[in-house]
């Protein structure tokens, strides 16, 4: 009777020791560490009890009561939109054909960089696959922006502006979802027409470049013509001003001369008139050509013609 009792006691002690060790190991498993580049989120029965645990050693209830999730906040993540990379080469584009505002089709490949926004709770818990969500948000924003622009603008002048606007739209969309993501940069890798019509696009681009050159040449020619016209107008204006000043000066001189003659005219009108007449005739005849024509039939006097030599 004694041996079975001792055996049961020994079994109980072993079981108690095993339970104690198991409980100790379970309790010890609650210790966890957060790396310097990480932040943690602590759950208890599925509920968040700490949403931004800093780097260092910490303790939380072990599973299945508690759970610790970690996220890299400083890591810059990369997504290819519209294509995938195989080593250093592009694979076959997927969902890369977009319709522009003038109903043309372009193949567009975009690279996006983002990081987790603190606290990491939203990134870890709000979306099942945040990487997929970022890719879909960028695709939606890119499609909407491209659909509002003509193909020529997307291929040339609007490319930089397009990258900025797409990034802003996607960030606003992700914020509305509470995805816990901060977009850093968006860079268009390829913007090109589909292969069957690429030659036609090249011809159109070349023609537009020629047209721009012709327009620029026309503008330069117009600027030169306008400058010459302004110079000629300035010259004619200066000449007109000189002639005006000369005539005004002459008129003022004549007026002053007549004003000086007025007292003499009042003293001797007949003599002054005769004097003025003789002076005028002297000026006229000094630069005139006189033609004397022999008298014709029935005429007794020769005809005299005076032509002023101007």
Q: Which residue matches tokens 């939203």? A: 122
Q: Is the pTM of this model over 0.75?
A: no
Banded pLDDT at 305 (limits 50, 70, 90): low
**Final residue of a domain: which of 70, 102, 128?**
70
Nearest to 191 by CA among 93, 49, 276, 294: 93
Number of domains in the chain: 3
Query: Is the pLDDT assigned to residue 268 strictly greater than 70?
Result: yes
Looking at the fold, whether 89 and 163 belong to one and the same domain comes out as yes
Domain assignment present for residue 258? The answer is no
State the chain's mean pLDDT as an integer. Answer: 81
Tell me what pLDDT residue 1 has: 46
pLDDT over 70 percentage in the chain: 85
Looking at the fold, whether 162 and 96 belong to one and the same domain comes out as yes
Tell me what pLDDT residue 244 has: 92
Cis preceding linkage at 64, omega within 30: yes
Domain assignment present for residue 103? The answer is yes
Banded pLDDT at 242 (limits 50, 70, 90): very high
Banded pLDDT at 92 (limits 50, 70, 90): low
Query: Is the pLDDT assigned to residue 255 strictly greater than 60?
Result: yes
Looking at the fold, whether 189 and 125 belong to one and the same domain comes out as yes
For 15, 20, 260, 293, the CA distances from 7, given in Å and listed in that order, are 12, 20, 160, 175
Q: What domain range is 275 assigned to?
A: 269-308
**Final residue of a domain: which of 150, 172, 200?**
200
Looking at the fold, whether 62 and 154 belong to one and the same domain comes out as no
């Amino acid at each position: 009777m004694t041996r079975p009792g001792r055996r049961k006691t020994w079994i109980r002690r072993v079981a108690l020791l095993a339970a104690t060790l198991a409980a100790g190991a379970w309790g010890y498993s609650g210790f966890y560490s957060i790396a310097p580049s990480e932040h943690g989120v602590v759950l208890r029965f599925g509920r968040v009890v700490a949403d931004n645990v800093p780097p260092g050693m910490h303790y939380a209830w072990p599973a299945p009561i508690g759970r610790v999730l970690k996220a890299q906040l400083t890591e810059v993540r990369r997504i290819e939109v519209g294509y995938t990379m195989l080593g250093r080469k592009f694979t076959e584009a997927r969902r890369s054909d977009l319709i522009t505002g003038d109903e043309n089709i372009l193949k567009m490949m975009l690279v996006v960089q983002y990081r987790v926004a603190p606290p990491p709770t939203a990134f870890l818990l709000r979306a099942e696959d945040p990487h997929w969500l970022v890719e879909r948000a960028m695709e939606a924003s890119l499609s909407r922006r491209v659909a509002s622009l003509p193909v020529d603008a997307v291929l040339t002048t609007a490319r930089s502006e397009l990258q900025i606007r797409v990034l802003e739209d996607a960030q606003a969309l992700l914020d509305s979802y509470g995805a816990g993501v901060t977009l850093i940069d968006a860079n268009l890798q390829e913007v090109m027409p589909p292969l069957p019509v690429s030659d036609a696009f090249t011809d159109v681009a070349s023609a537009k470049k020629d047209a721009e050159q012709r327009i620029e040449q026309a503008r330069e020619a117009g600027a030169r013509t306008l400058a010459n016209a302004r110079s000629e107008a300035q010259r004619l204006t200066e000449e007109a001003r000189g002639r005006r000043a000369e005539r005004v000066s002459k008129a003022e001189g004549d007026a002053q001369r007549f004003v000086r003659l007025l007292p003499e005219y009042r003293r001797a009108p007949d003599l002054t008139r005769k004097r003025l007449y003789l002076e005028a005739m002297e000026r006229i005849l000094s630069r005139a050509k006189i033609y004397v024509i022999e008298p014709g039939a029935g005429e007794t006097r020769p005809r005299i013609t005076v032509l002023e030599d101007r």
